[in-house]
Structure 1
Amino acid sequence: MSYELKDHQITTLIGPNGSGKSTLFKLLTRSLKPNKGQILLNREDIWTYPPKKYAQNVAIVHQQNQIYDQIQVIDLVRMGQIPYEDNFKNSDRLTKILDYLELSDLKNKDLSCLSGGQRQRVWLAVALMQDPEYLFLDEPTTYLDLHFQYSFLKLLRRLNKEQNLTICMILHDLNEALEFSDRSVLFNHGEIVAEGRSEEILIPELVDPIFNINSELIETKTGNYLRQY
């Protein structure tokens, strides 16, 4: 299997549980080492990168993050600078990221006091402090209510557009993938079934047999929508 992640776009990995999307995600983020083949970053095998050098290029926001009950937001976000020699010293970047993610008013609060949506923005801030070229997110909306799901995905789109950040994430919601990703990779039984522009991939003809659903594609002024019935 060969796949190339498109630069400066949002790509969503989507498919049923056990379809292979999590395996590819783990391979791309060095959580799993391939038995054969290579994962290349800037034409180099990612496993040849020293950990700090890899972290300067790739940042990861996991589905579940360790909770540091007594750590303040500002101290946790500073940890994103660990891959750099001048870690904990880039106060200008820290201030800009806290402002950008609307976390400045929360910077002195303990992480345990924040809502799920606020915590997710904090972990995103940690990732952005790494100043990465690529941002990977594993099911970033799973534990958020509907309002925070959409506000977080809108934030990712803003980061992609304004900072030219390449983003790859796993989502379960087909319509969220349609709305917020440029490209989608559709998985089933450990294989890539289709990949390309989301509006061309997330269509009833492809998704219905894979997810065992019945759907129809509805075109609206703001984009396509898959209605299940």
Structure 2
Amino acid sequence: MTVAAMAVDTAEARRAAIIEATDVSVVFNGVAAVDRASVAIHPGRITAICGANGSGKSTLLKCLSGLEAPTGGDIRLAGQALGGLSRRDIARQVAVLGQNPETPAGLNVEELVEQGRYPHRPWLTRLRANDRDAIERAIAAVDLADMRKRQLASLSGGERQRAWVAMALAQEPQILFLDEPTSFLDVRHQAELLTLLRRLNREDRLTIIAVLHDLNQVIEFADDVILMKKGQVLSTGAPADIFTPQSLSHAFGCKVDVVAHPHTGRPFCLIDWVGDDRGRDRVGDDR
């Protein structure tokens, strides 16, 4: 490819990005939590942010969503400078589900989901017909219609997480940010939540950016990956391209192999949990 063609491709990629961060840094007490990170988020795709604890994943997510102002660099949302937008303007385009959100006392599912309409309502006004419609669609999307009057405190962890997703959907966002959404959920509820999110992405073209720890979940779930270490972006791209034994071992500081899954043939991350090869021959061994 010629230099001119590469320049055209780069320009088109920049125009296509719904969020673009250039040389973004966040410094706390003289330490860079994010160090000159440049990433592009493309619409209608699922992007996972991965890395070891302390690598800057959550801080980068907060910057991209407008919750954290960067110390340096530039972030643009749909071509507009993120720092120049009001909180209400951002919330009309972006919804954020943080880590283990605190359950408000006394609220039921429907009342929680109603909170998602605040960016679209004049202050201290009643819910309008379009608000009610958005709330109904959000509750139906997460399959909680039968639980709409249930107190949040009475729900299981998976049901409560779906209620929070419904609140985010009631904002009618173009982009949904999630910070470790599967934490504190058992395997079944993790699978149900990721299946729900993937359906929302595929059917409604909802752009999703999520911090995830489980590398095999990322392989199954994400279209794109941002791999980080010590505040820096090591690489970006499709999981099949980014997840190599060398890159993952470097990012996480432990031995990670990428092998073919014994049943599906798809890539599978195999971690040396005990620091040697004692269990390695048993994985996928049908003898």
Please indicate the TM-score interval, normalised by the length of the shorter structure: over 0.9
Query: In 1, Cα distance between the equivalents of 2:132 and 2:62?
Result: 32
Question: Please, what TM-score do these two structures have when normalized by structure 2?
Answer: 0.76
Matched, 1:173 2:181: no
> How far did 1:92 drift?
2.2
Match of 2:145 in 1: 104
How many residue pairs end up in the alignment?
Answer: 229
Find the counterpart in structure 1 of residue 64 from structure 2: 28
Aligned to 2:34: none
Give, in angstroms, the shift of residue 219 of structure 1: 2.2
Structure 2 residue corresponding to 1:186, chosen from 206, 217, 227 = 227
Residue 49 of structure 1 pairs with residue 88 of structure 2: no
1:139-190 Cα shifts (integer Å, max 9, x gaps): 0001111111111011111111000011000011111111100011110121
SS of corresponding position for 1:83:
helix
Shift of 1:222: 6.3
Give secondary structure in 1 for the equivalent of 2:40: coil
**CA-based RMSD:** 1.4
For structure 2, list consecutive stretches of 5 or more residues without a partner in the other structure. 1-22, 24-37, 273-287
Q: How far apart in 2 are the matches of 1:32 and 1:41?
A: 14
Counterpart position of 2:180: 139
**Corresponding residue SS for 1:206:** helix
Match of 1:63 in 2: 99
1:88 to 127, 136, 148: 127
Residue in structure 1 matching 2:163, options 122, 127, 145: 122
8 Å CA contact 2:141, 2:166 repeated in 1: no
Please state how far the C-alpha of 1:49 moved relative to its aligned partner: 1.3
Letter in 1 for 2:268: Y
Tell me how far 1:204 sits from its aligned partner: 1.0
Partner of 2:76: 40
Which structure has more relative contact order (CA 8 Å, sep 6+)? It is 1
1:73 aligns with 2:109: yes
State the structure with more CA Rg.
Answer: 2
Task: Answer yes or no: is the 8 Å Cα contact 1:59–1:134 preserved in 2.
Answer: yes
Q: Secondary structure at the match of 1:82?
A: helix
Match of 1:152 among 162, 168, 193: 193
Q: Are 1:197 and 2:233 counterparts?
A: no
Instruction: Tell me the distance in 2 between the aligned counterparts of 1:92 and 1:60.
Output: 21
Identity fraction in percent: 34
What TM-score do you get using the length of structure 1 for normalisation?
A: 0.95
- Look up the SS of the partner of 2:43 in the other structure: coil
- Correspondence for 2:250: 209
CA distance in 2: counterparts of 1:15 and 1:216, whole angstroms:
16
CA distance in 1, matches of 2:137, 2:265: 31
